[in-house]
Each structure stands twice: as C-alpha cells, then as structure tokens.
A and B are shown apart, each in its own frame.
Chain A
C-alpha cells in the first residue's frame, strides 16, 4: 500500500482502441487492481467497469502531454490495451510511478496468490491441490510396467533440480547410467519418460541437449538411449528429435553443448525439426501485436504483417513437430526422445501437443489439466521467467506457453467434436498463468514451489476451473469421437492455420461477432437439462394425481446427462451478462417454480437476447464522413475480468 500515491483520480477518459469513441470515469488504484469506473451512467444501463490486475500489466507508458490531458497507455499480458487520458499531469505521474512499482514485484511474497482469499475453508483448499495426481496419471498410461519403472534418484532434487522428484526410466537403466547421463546433459536434464503409448509400448521421452561439443561422448548417456530403445520391442531404433533448427544446434557445439552424433549412438535416428528459440518467438509475437494493434489497418497490411511477423509459421512448426512425433509413435511404433536446448520450452510444447494428438484423455477438461501439470509444471517450464512474474531479465520472457495454447486452439478448430473444452478454457488458463492469483504456475520448478509452500499458502487454479467446468464445455463435444479417432491427424496445409482473434483481441469487443454461437448453444444445452428436470418434477406431481408418466420414448432420452448450472458470468467473449440481465435471469428462475406457467420462452428469451450493435463505435472505420453523426452511446456492459469479481465481494 505504501506504493500507492493517489488511490483515486476523477474525470479520466478511456479512449476506445479502434475508434475515436471515449468514456469518462474514475480511476481507482488498489493494492491489487487498477479499476476504471464509468461515471455518466444513466439509470437504464449499468456502469462499465474495468478491473486490471497489477500482475497483468506488462508495460505502462506515459505519452507526451496533449491539450486534453496526459495520456497513459497500459498494455496487459492478456493482450488488453487501455488508453487513459488523465486531466492533470501530476495525477497521471502519480499513477504512472505507483504502477511502475506495483507491476514489478521483487519477491514471491508480494504476488497476489498469497493474499487471494476466495472464502473457502481450509479443507476445500487442500482438496483443490489433491485433484491432480501425476502418479495416478502414469499408472493410467500403464507405467510402471515390465519395462519402465519409477526411480528415486531425484527424490531430493540432487540429480536435477529442475525435474520433479518422481521420474520414470527404463528398468535396464541403472543408477550409475542415470547419474552419468545426467552429467552429460545440460542442467542435468537426462532422458526420462513423459508419455507411454500403451498400444505399441512406445515411449515419448524428454531431456536437454547433450554436452557433446565437437567430439565429446558419454558411454552412460549412450547406454541410456540404448535402454530406451531396448524397452520397445516394436522398433529397432529410437528417434531423437532435436526441436531446434540445425544451425542453432551446431552453434551450440562451440559452447560445449550440441546434439547427438549418430555414429556414437547405436540405433538412433536423428532428426532436426526446426522450431525457433524463445527470443525469436518473443519478437514474433511483439510484431504480430504491433500489426494487429494499428488503427485503420488495411487487409493487405494485415496479411503482409501476419506473414512477416512469422507467428503463424512458428505455430505451424510446433504442430508439424507434434505430428511427426505422433506418427513415429502411433504408426511406426517407435520410441522418441525429444529435446531442444534445456528441454523446457520447445520440448514441452512438442511432447504435450503430441500427447494431445495421441491420447483422447488429454482432450478432456481434466485430462488437459493433467497434461499441463505433467509436461509444463512438473517438468520445469520456467513459468516465473517466461511470464515475467517477478522483476527479472526481460530476455527470459517468452510466449512459449501462449503458443502452446494457440496450437491447441488450432486443433480444436480442425476437430470441433474431439475436445471436451471450448476455447474459453484456453483463454481462462492463459489469463491465470499471468494473473499470479493461483499457486499453480508460480516459480520456475517444483523444487522452488515446495520451498514457497504453495500447497499450503495458495489456492489451486484447477480446483477453481473444475468447479465451474460447465462454463468451459464444448457443446459439440462427442465422447465417442475418441473411439473412432483415437489419434488426431490434423491438416498441415497453411490455409488451415488461422489468426486467433479471440485471444489477441480478447478485449476489443468491436472486433468480435455480435452473437456467439458457442454461448447460444451452451445456453440451450443448459436449458435442455433444466427442462428435463422440470419434466421429471411434473411427472412426479402427476403421479400423485394417479397418472403414471408415459413410457419413455427412447429417442427423446437425453443424450447428455450432465447437469449444467448457470453459465459464465464474466467471460468477455461471450458478451458478459449485464447486471440487469443477470437479475432478470434470477427472477425467471424463481418464476419457474410456479406451475401453469408456459415455459416456451423462459429459457430462451433473455439468454438469447440479440446484441444488436451500435453503429457509432464502428463508424470511424467505414467512412469519410467527418464527425457528422451524433454519437449515441451503446448500452454498457459490465466487463469484469475473469474470476476477479469473486474476490471483491
């Protein structure tokens, strides 16, 4: 609190990003949030509120003074960009300097997760952390088995401090082999199992680059790969996928690192797949955001920008690599060892995406959480560094995990029935990777997380997401799709990769469809369940009058038995419920208790309210009629950020 110089500034104008429209209101600065409340609200519309968590702010910029005031531009990690104009420069400077201090916490203790209290009792909180059990996950895959076992070499993080305690290795890999191999691998990250394809007994293993330099070799490391190869009777060789471009790998040799020499390792097939490094990805996304952030963008500049920033090319490279991995494992039945430099960025992307293609379980909500927990959290993707959780080295920041989520989104677009979750889940996870509101993604590795006692001091995101998982369901999901398509074979034609508008323009409402199919169908599905309940209830009441229900029509039986409670209250994309709408919905629910009420519209009238759009906010983009139209305000909509509303009550 000592950093906040001005808790409240009035008469601040919020400029719309892609038009000349603006709203004025009051800016509040709290210990955790920056809040903008629209002032001139009339009785008919609820005031617009914008809540920005300090951790979400990536940069604050004070532009030079204009006649109307002092502009302040805030860019957020969830791709929200807000542009305020503060009347007095002193106020603007106070906010600016307060934010600068607040958005760069220096120690973990300052992070929101340690103060966030969602009014849960201790037991619920603990249970939240127990939802995901990686031991059980390996059991589900069929490990340990006669060829793979759990090793305790890293029980005290002595061999590799960025790996988890529990690691799975081939039965034939003895402790000296493991220790020797780990010494020959960057950061001690020796080859371990991450996914086991039971059907062909083929393994996906991961590690970091070998410290081979130009000629060094390590017999233990060679035996380690031999052991992995021997553990699979289907194939005489094991693929080694170096996910880096060849040039990068070769350059690493000069630093005493490098890649496996096929002559030294018997039975390996070595392959580069050419995914660029974290620095290239960071610059690429920055360029993309610059392109799509410019006002009055032409189609040609947009497409040329998409091309020159290279972002979709990189996304496709990751998907291509995952497809290669999947084919090697599922078609050839070969085991694959994946690595990059340190084995925590590209390796995590490729292994997890490959597993998603191979195993339908990971395409469920719970399974997807398990996958992230396993390949990203436990294997030490450096979330703290990559997401800039603490004031650190800007060169370590990179959107590697965002890119993974985007790859998953591209797949959900190609296979609309294969995933239990919709893109809302991906967006929500992305939101909280950066929010530091839950403990899951804090710090860089498991060891550090244990030191921070996150399990005792913070809440788990997974528990929160599972509790409201009905919000993240994909209505087109078909559980039997997994039987007919256990392995997904996505198209890799470039025309099937699209710009993810709902991620990078998440908060730019004017760019989105004004009516959401997803929201509508989810709502209908929900109302289907309510209607089914009402039918049951009515039938019991009729029974009391001595009328037995008609024999159930097999065709009318529900396809889906899940009970769906209310829909998301704060999902930006789904055009969030306004307060009024929420109220109306509540009233309706009460009304439904009465008999005799015709139910025909009850489930559809408010929820399927048409969001007619307002021309005013779009007019700038259409025309060269200069400012001749009277601006007419659009009904305001409460746009609280994910999960935050909960905290304030």
Chain B
C-alpha cells in the first residue's frame, strides 16, 4: 500500500551518472570519503535482504544489486534522521533511521569503509545550507502538465470569494512583506477597512499577523478569521484599529466567537511576555473560548514518545498501552479535532463568525482553521481542493515548514523548533476520513505522501518558512512543485479514493476516544507486512471499478442497441 519514494526508484541510471557529475563539481565531493562499497547487505523488516553495491552521491544513498528485476534503494540524505554504528569484528553495521519513521540496516564489510560512509551520511543529512538542498538539483523525469507553482494563486482563490460576496477585498498592504513577514503579499480583509488600519492592527498582533479571512461559509455568510495573539501586555493595551477590523466582520447585532487555542492560564501568562488575549471590555461583541492545544515543543516530545512506543519490541500489552497513553499523541489529536469542530459549529450551527488564534498563529491556529474547513466545505475534500487548502492555510499562511520538519522522531540532536504540527493535522484528517470513508476524493495514500514530502522531498513546495522566504529562494523558478507531480492523471488515480461520492453536507466527526484510532498507515507502517492489507485494498478497488466502469457501460450499450432495434424494426415491417 505504501511503496515509498516510488518515483525516486524509477529514475534511470543515466540520470544518476549525470547527477554524480554535477555533484562532483560541487563541494559534495570532499564530503564523500568513500563513494562506493561492494558487498553491502541491506536488511529491512518484512522484505527480503538485498546484497549489492552501496553508492553515495551528494543527495542520495543508493544500494543496487546490479541485477535485473531487483529493487534498488534510493534514499534521500534529507530523509535520514539519525544513524547508529555497530561493529562485530571488521563487519560494520549502520542502522539508518529515516524521517518517514522507517528503520533500515546496512551491513558493510570493512571498518574503514563503514566509518567513512557513516560520517559522510551524518554530514550530508544535516547540511544547513539551503542552496545545497536536493530540490535545486532535481530535474523532473515526468512531463509537467500543469505547473504546480501557478495552480493555487491567491488571486484565483479570491475570484471564488468575489462570486459569493462583496464584503471582502484583496489587500496588497503586505506586498513587500514589510507589514507581516510570515504573510503572503495578498490577503483578504473586510472591504470597509483600509490599509492604514491594517498596518496599525498588525502592530498590535504577534508577528504582525493581523486578522485576515481564512474561510467564508457560503451557506450563511459567516466567516472564519485567523491572526496572532493581541499584544495587550500586562497593562492591557488596546488598539482601536484592531477592534474595528474584527468588528467589521460582524453583521449588525450579531456576536462572534474568538477561539483561543491556549488555556486561560497559558494565555494569562503570555501577558507577561507582551502577548495576551482580547478582553471582554474592549471586545464586547465577541465571546472568547479557550481550548488546550499544546505548544510545538510538547508535540515534538509526544511524537518521539509515540514512535518509541511503536518500535518497542516488548510483547507486553500493559507496556504498550501505558506508553501509548504517556505519549499523549491521541490526546493531541482529540484536542485539535475538538477545537476544529467547535469552530465549525460556531459557524454552521450558531451562525456566528469566528476568529482563531493561539500565540504566533502559525501552528495550532492553522490546525484549527484548516480542519474546520475540511468539516464544513466539501471542496476541501477533493484532491485539488485539499492541495488548495494546504497551499492557502499552511504554505501561504506561513507555517514554518522548514523549521518544524527538519528533524523527525529519531534525531539525537537537540531539538530547535521541530514539531509535528502538520503531521498532527494530517492525522486528524485521516481520522475524519476513517469516519467518512466515502466523502473524500483522496485516499490515505495522499496524506502519507504529504507527510513524506514535508520531511524530505525532491520538490520545492515545502521548503522555506513563509511566502517571503520562498520568493527569496526563487523556488518557483528553480525547483519543481509537488503539485506538478501530483496533478498528473496517473498520480491522481493512485491517490484517489474509489469509494468517493461527492457529499455536500457538513461532516461532524466523533471525537470520543473510542472513535479515534492510531494512524497505522504512518506509525505502524514498517511494523508489519502490508502485503495482505494491500491486496485486500486492491480487491476492493477492483469490485468498485468493475461495477462503475465495465458493467454499467456494458449494460448501457446493450440497452441502447436494443432500443435502437426496437424502434427500427416496426418501420421495417410496415411497408
């Protein structure tokens, strides 16, 4: 079910040669002490061992058996999270732990070779220089039908909004990223609010993240906005422009909800550092609700504990359950989903507008706003719509992907800003997908694919931390977009959910602990042979396609034929 990095595997060797040449010109050459070793044995769980030649290039670790029909291993250095070395006599073993949570073992004859390989991998997998990253070197071996960099422009998204309402406008107040460094150049704001007000409101919000439109609910015209925390500080500063800005989104006599993703006490503590929350006195038309989504450092710890629990070889049920509990992962899933449901509920059931923020407004805020849209908006449940959502609510909205995803669950180095914020979002989407298996156009393969590419990728999509960084790196010119790869017919088909039937309803997931499952497709993916699950899935796909494609077409054809005959024949008989 989860063949990983398939496209890397299928690149022809000529490419490898060219690629190596290029790399040798670069400074990679001096980092690679031993470029190749023969007689290396690759061991992976549930797969046959492979013996072959190990090659190191600037960006890949390659193991080839040099035989036809046998699989080669192509592993991006960027995908390597940690390595361990062991020696038995002159036979060295390197355990490679990947960011996609897979663990593989390489047995390398010769101590020196092994040490060289290990140190090269260590250096190559932790290169800090952005310009050396693989997406800048990768040349697509597929035909780009639609350039993903141009697929989801804010202008286009706004055209849809314009067709529904005239209350909003697209402001270019941030066109040189000077008002808010993590916002895109174009943002949607209330029509009656001018750019000057926006600038003043930005000064009052964390990171300059003034309230902007996140989602417009067509059904009742209610909206969801997001921002950073207000900088009220301990002496309760206020900002009339900020108040004006968000009040401009309310209809006359209506109240709105502010969903603060932090607990009351955390929000209180933030005041001491200049942050804070909207007080009732200054925002009388808004009702504030506090939820408890954890900060990113706690989430990273949770991921590490969860993966450790999943890799535990002990056969004790009690140990597994207590470790799973101690990881708190499922609690985070439940909290995030619950908050998203609450936001969706305010909008759809209460008919109220909502403003969502936490501290910076780049993590838990985005989890909530994007999940609420999955629940409310059927368009987000399509393959294209989901890409648009990720583009709009994560990439454009300034989720710092590069910082958050530079290390995964195995890394020994001290965590800096790493956190599985986006992975938790994907997990929540998977939970909803499990509960509404026919309402999504994509299958979990798509979610797993996104998880992989946020941590290591040949595409430039998830590089950088914000729109401004991406534009400085000139990614749209120098790299290929993941969406260019995804939006080709064969890939779309692979990622499609065969059971999909468009469902225009709001979908309310259950958040009871019994309804939330551990995402096996990611966390237990390498813990069992997936073959029988894959085959069962294929069988299901077959049943559905056999029905939809073959049989129904055939019946329709036959009926048409028969109808034709029956109308023709009386004519023939009359004369």
A interface, CB within 8 angstroms of B: 18, 292, 297-304, 306-307, 310, 312-313, 316, 320, 414-418, 475-476, 478, 481, 485, 491-499, 501, 505, 510-517, 520-521, 524-525, 527-528, 531-532, 534-535, 538-539, 541-542, 545, 547, 556, 559, 595-600, 603-604, 608, 610, 612-616, 618-619, 621-625, 628-629
Contact = CB atoms under 8 A, between A and B. Distances in A.
Contacts of A478: 535-536, 539
Interface string B514-525: 111110000010
25 contacts: A18-B512, A292-B514, A307-B318, A310-B318, A316-B317, A415-B532, A475-B543, A495-B320, A498-B517, A510-B512, A514-B436, A517-B438, A524-B547, A531-B554, A538-B555, A545-B562, A545-B569, A595-B559, A596-B559, A599-B555, A603-B552, A618-B511, A622-B342, A623-B341, A623-B342
Contact of B341 (A512, A610, A622): A622
A618 B556 contact: no
B511 A621 contact: yes
Contact of B435 (A415, A493, A513): A513
A494 B532 contact: no
A417 B348 contact: no
Contact of A556 (B289, B512, B550): B550
Nearest to A488: B532
A600 B549 CA distance: 10
Contact of A610 (B309, B350, B439): B439
Given A303-B513, A307-B325, A615-B348, 16 more contacts: A298-B331, A299-B333, A310-B318, A320-B315, A476-B536, A476-B540, A478-B535, A494-B316, A495-B310, A545-B566, A545-B569, A612-B505, A614-B508, A618-B341, A618-B508, A625-B342
Nearest to A629: B349
Contacts of A545: 562, 565-566, 569
B29 interface: no
Contacts of B563: 595-596
A494 B322 CA distance: 11
Given A299-B330, A495-B524, A603 B565 contact: no
Contact of A511 (B341, B514, B559): B514
A376 B126 CA distance: 60
Contacts of A306: 321
A538 B555 CA distance: 8
B321 A521 contact: no
A531 B547 contact: yes
A298 B547 contact: no
A542 B558 contact: yes
Nearest to A619: B345
B254 to A, nearest CB: 13
Given A298-B513, A513-B435, A597-B559, A496 B350 contact: no
A18 B514 CA distance: 12
A614 B558 CA distance: 42
A610 B539 contact: no
Contact of B539 (A476, A505, A531, A532): A476
Nearest to A292: B514
A243 to B, nearest CB: 18
A542 B331 contact: no
B515 A542 contact: no
Most buried by B among A303, A316, A510: A303
B507 A613 contact: yes
Given A494-B320, A535-B558, A623-B342, A524 B544 contact: yes
A498 B321 CA distance: 11
A297 B569 CA distance: 71
Contacts of A541: 562
Nearest to A505: B514
Nearest to A598: B556
A43 to B, nearest CB: 22
A515 B556 contact: no
A242 to B, nearest CB: 20
A312 B528 contact: no
B345 A496 contact: no
A618 B565 CA distance: 56
A541 B562 CA distance: 8
Nearest to B337: A622
Nearest to B549: A556
A164 B196 CA distance: 91
B527 interface: yes
A225 B566 CA distance: 78
A33 B322 CA distance: 42
B551 interface: yes
A612 B501 CA distance: 12
B64 interface: no
In this complex, which of B316, B345, B524, B542 has the most chain A Cβ atoms within 10 angstroms of its Cβ?
B345
B287 to A, nearest CB: 9
A556 B554 contact: yes
Contacts of A527: 547
Contacts of B501: 604, 608, 610
Given A524-B547, A599-B559, A312 B317 contact: yes
A414 B524 CA distance: 13
Contacts of A297: 512-514
A300 B335 CA distance: 12
Contact of A629 (B350, B507, B524, B551): B350
B380 to A, nearest CB: 16
Contacts of A316: 317
B533 A416 contact: yes
A481 B538 CA distance: 14
A163 B563 CA distance: 67
B559 A521 contact: no
A638 B318 CA distance: 40
A618 B338 CA distance: 10
Interface in B90-110: none
Nearest to B313: A493
B551 A491 contact: no
A614 B314 CA distance: 42
Give me the 10 closest cross-chain CB pairs, A-B, nearest first: A612-B505, A302-B513, A494-B320, A303-B325, A416-B536, A307-B321, A531-B551, A313-B317, A538-B558, A476-B536
A531 B515 CA distance: 36
Contacts of A492: 315
A481 B536 CA distance: 11
A604 B500 CA distance: 12
Nearest to B546: A528
A304 B321 CA distance: 7
Nearest to A306: B321
A475 B434 CA distance: 18
B39 to A, nearest CB: 32
A127 B459 CA distance: 67
Contacts of B324: 303, 495
B515 to A, nearest CB: 5
A545 B542 CA distance: 33
Contact of A525 (B438, B510, B528, B543): B543
A511 B510 contact: yes
A124 B569 CA distance: 50
B181 interface: no
A325 B100 CA distance: 37
B349 A619 contact: yes
A307 B320 CA distance: 9
Contacts of A491: 527-528
A478 B542 CA distance: 12
A600 B513 contact: no
A621 B338 contact: yes
A513 B559 contact: no
Given A415-B532, A524-B547, A629 B345 contact: yes
Nearest to B505: A612
B60 interface: no
B561 interface: yes
Nearest to B375: A615
B20 interface: no
B551 A520 contact: no
B506 interface: yes
Nearest to A597: B559
A189 B321 CA distance: 39
